[in-house]
Structure 1
Amino acid sequence: MFVIKNYVTTGGTVVCALAIGYLMQNGSTAQRNAAHAEVAAATVAQTSVMPGLDGIVLTSSPSAYRTDAVTEPARRTLQPSQSAPSDHANCSLSARAHAMPGATARLIVKAPCYADERVEIHHSGLTVTQHTDASGTLDLTIPALSEYAIFLISLENKQGTVATTHIPDMGHYARIALQWQGQTDLQIHALEFGASYGSNGHVSANPETQGIGSVVHLGQAGLTDARNLQVYSFPAGRASEAGSIEVTVEAEVTAENCGRDLSVQSLELRGDRKLRSHDLTLNIPDCSRTGEFLVLNNLFQDLTIAAK
């Protein structure tokens, strides 16, 4: 079963220096609070009542269009630095954000003394774990959830910085995001305007599925406590067709997650431009069901699209 908790995130003015100072002083405990604080760029209101969660199905075989069909890079285990680098100008941490098409932001982080280091990115309630490359650089494109986007970047040694940018086409997009922590692979599937699985209009993170919208998966393989997310985006402000979009979520029962509770958070940005958040707990079946899939048909209300 699910335990659902609805809550309200209040708006306010974000002061970047204070946000980073608090984040660095309080470490991991402050990261979630800082992430929620910078939702101020979006209008947030009382969450609506979640739809019934009675549409949960266990299936014994995956669909032919699963995101795990995509070839993934080899899993790796990242080792944190044992000591901080010397205080030198070349070791400074910096970040820049640039608006990109599709209401996304390209985030470039440069940490020359932190090669292959864990990095956490916070934006409008979203948190995702990534790592720098061999030169200490991270280049990442993130679907934005606010027009005036603020990104908090933190390293494991509690160093951090802030990057901001304006997303001019933010108002044209509806978005549904799902985030969780750990190696469970949650997958968003959108069925646009009556599409069925495998047909045109079925959209997922698997590039073999195609439609008007898109699903992006962000996370870091090889870390058992990595923060992962998937985001479905639809250009509702430019739609030429009216109708509804059904959004479902699938989760495989694996040896790593069987019999455990998984904390999940959803964020939704619909036509009224109000960012709504929901916390819930997913009870994964016991290990005798390993290899089967949970199909959550009623986790999200359908997106209603009006033709422009």
Structure 2
Amino acid sequence: MLGKKEIATAVGALACAIGIGFIMQSADSGGDGYDQQAAADAPVLQGATAGNAMLDLEEITLTSAEFEGGIDLPSPDTEVTKVLAPTSVLEEPTVPEVVEQSQAVTPACEIVATARPVAAAMVNLELEASCLPNERVTVHHNGMIFTETTSAEGSVSLRVPALAKEAVFILAFSNGEGAVAQTVVEELADFDRAVLQWKGNTGFQIHAREFGADYGSEGHLWTNAPGDVAAAVAGSGGVLTRHGDMSAAEPLIAEVYSFPKAYNARSGNIALSVETEVTQANCGLEIEAQSLEMQADGSIKTQNLTLPVPDCDAAGSFLVLNNLLQDLKVAGG
């Protein structure tokens, strides 16, 4: 990102929930990129397994990204019950000199999700679904949404930034199966947190420049320099985390910037911007993203972005959006 050079050119109309100024700049590095979610990524959740029953899960309303045309989401009215995967029937072996045939049925496979709070207001999220190996699973949490893929054993292990003190996670498979996990994150009030989410390889990325840091210097956090969770725990800096399996088909991706406002000793501003590189994968297209920002009262501020990308002759340049995410004002402790 060093040595950026401004390009004076008309990029086209930018549709967003707020007015956004943008600059076209050329650069040597890029990132990854959210469009409308396909219906296949948002199955109706037929049931779920709750770990420690602390919340009334029937009152959950999923507030995931809603772009033009809308997005189908798991039903919030479904009763939270234990989920059993369908049993599978093996071939019926022929028994010599016996007219009747027998069939072996595998035991039902239970899908279980658990959540546990860890340092930096994060949550360790575990999913066990041995009957669903190598399957796409969509994670929903307080408006944030991203897709992962289960292992060959049908498991997923994630560390996810919490967006609510009473944190509920819904994990949904495309066949309608799913599970729910929940926990309490006491440390959440100690952190500022901003999310950008999108679909596919659209080139979106968050840039955080802490306390006047220049591009490429210490204190500039982005995809290629995400910072460290240990620094966030110690209060010496923020951390950028990316969630979602980019190797999956049309993945849903979420990038989260977290800053430890309660542990930080410095005062000043953190400049937050959203950038996207013009690449052969997105040039000439209209791409979409959504931002989620935690407010002081615990609510989530949401903004939708529709961005027309210049033609492919501008490949290698960056679009810089300075007003989609609000800069953070930090008062040192």
What TM-score, normalized by structure 2, do the two folds share? 0.69
Cα distance in 1 for partners of 2:118, 2:177 equals 27
Which structure would you say has the larger Rg? 2
Please list, as runs of the form range in 1=range in 2, the aligned pairs for 1:249-288 lying within 5 A after superposition. 249-288=274-313
TM-score, normalising length: structure 1:
0.74
* CA-CA distance at 1:155 after TM superposition: 0.7
Shift of 1:151: 0.4
CA shift for structure 1 position 88: 5.0
8 A Cα contact 1:200 1:209, kept in partner: no
Question: Which residue of 1 is the match for residue 204 of structure 2?
Answer: 186
- The farther-off stretch of 276-285 and 216-225 is 216-225
Cα distance in 2 for partners of 1:88, 1:243 equals: 60
Does structure 1 retain, via aligned residues, the 8 Å contact 2:227–2:238? no
Moved more, 236-245 or 147-156: 236-245
1:62 aligns with 2:41: no
In structure 1, the residue matched to 2:10 is none
- The amino acid across from 1:192 in the alignment is E
CA distance in 1, matches of 2:177, 2:261: 38
Name 1:160's counterpart in structure 2: 178
* Structure-1 separation of matches of 2:249 and 2:151: 19
The 1:273/1:243 distance shift into structure 2, 3 A limit, reads: farther
CA RMSD of aligned residues (A): 2.1
Unaligned runs of 5+ in 2: 1-12, 33-84, 89-104, 229-235
Alpha-carbon distance in structure 1 between the residues aligned to 2:207 and 2:23: 15
Distance of 2:296 and 2:208 partners within structure 1: 17
What is the CA-CA distance between 1:208 and the residue it aligns to?
6.9
| Counterpart for residue 294 of structure 1 | 319
Match of 1:4 among 9, 16, 25: 16
AA partner of residue 186 (structure 1): F
How far does the alpha carbon of each residue in 1:286-306 deviate from its partner, in whole angstroms, 9 at most, with x for none?
222223221222322211111
How far did residue 253 of structure 1 move?
Answer: 1.5
2:138 matches 1:120: yes
Identity of aligned residues (%): 38
Q: Distance in 2 between the 1:238 and 1:146 partners?
A: 19
Work out whether residues 290 and 304 of structure 2, in 8 Å CA contact, stay in contact via their aligned partners in 1.
yes
Which amino acid counterpart does residue 252 of structure 2 have in structure 1? Answer: R
Deviations 1:108-128 (A, max 9, x none): 001101111101000000100
Match of 2:262, SS?
Answer: helix
Determine if contact 1:205/1:214 at 8 Å carries over to the other structure: no
Q: Which residue of 2 aligns with 1:36?
A: none
Matched residue type, 2:15: V
**Runs of 4+ in structure 1 displaced over 4 angstroms?**
87-90, 208-211
User: Which stretch of structure 1 is more off in the superposition, 276-285 or 129-138?
Assistant: 276-285
